[in-house]
């Protein structure tokens, strides 16, 4: 019985690790995309440290949203099989 339980823990650990990696990759990707935004049109001092912090926060918020969507979609596609499984 403990073999089955350890398999569950292992699966949960892999899913957590994958979730963290997907989130970090999405945040980095959004940060890369935000580098092309013309911040001087939006901010008075785009090179200031507060402006950089705003860019970082925007990258985290948008990247997290993208990652959440991808991870939720992945979970939904994995769970939809239960709809068609004979009980």
**Looking at per-residue confidence, does 42 or 13 come out higher?**
13
Indicate whether 41 belongs to any domain: yes
Q: Containing domain of residue 39, as a range?
A: 2-81
* pLDDT tens digit sequence for 30-65: 999 999 888 888 878 877 888 889 999 999 999 999
pLDDT above 90 (res 26): yes
The two structure tokens encoding residue 76? 């939904």
CA 74 to CA 35: how far, in whole Å?
A: 28
Indicate whether 87 belongs to any domain: no
Indicate whether 58 belongs to any domain: yes
**Looking at per-residue confidence, does 31 or 3 come out higher?**
31
Q: Tally the domains of the chain.
A: 1
Cα 3 to its chain centre, rounded Å, is 31
Indicate whether 19 belongs to any domain: yes
């Amino acid at each position: 019985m403990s073999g089955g339980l350890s398999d569950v823990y292992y699966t949960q650990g892999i899913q957590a690790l994958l979730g963290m990696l997907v989130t970090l990759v999405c945040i980095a990707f959004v940060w890369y995309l935000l580098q092309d935004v013309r911040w001087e049109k939006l901010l008075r001092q785009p090179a200031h440290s507060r402006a950089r912090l705003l860019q970082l926060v925007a990258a985290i918020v948008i990247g997290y949203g993208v990652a959440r969507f991808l991870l939720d979609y992945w979970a939904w596609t994995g769970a939809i099989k239960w709809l068609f499984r004979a009980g």
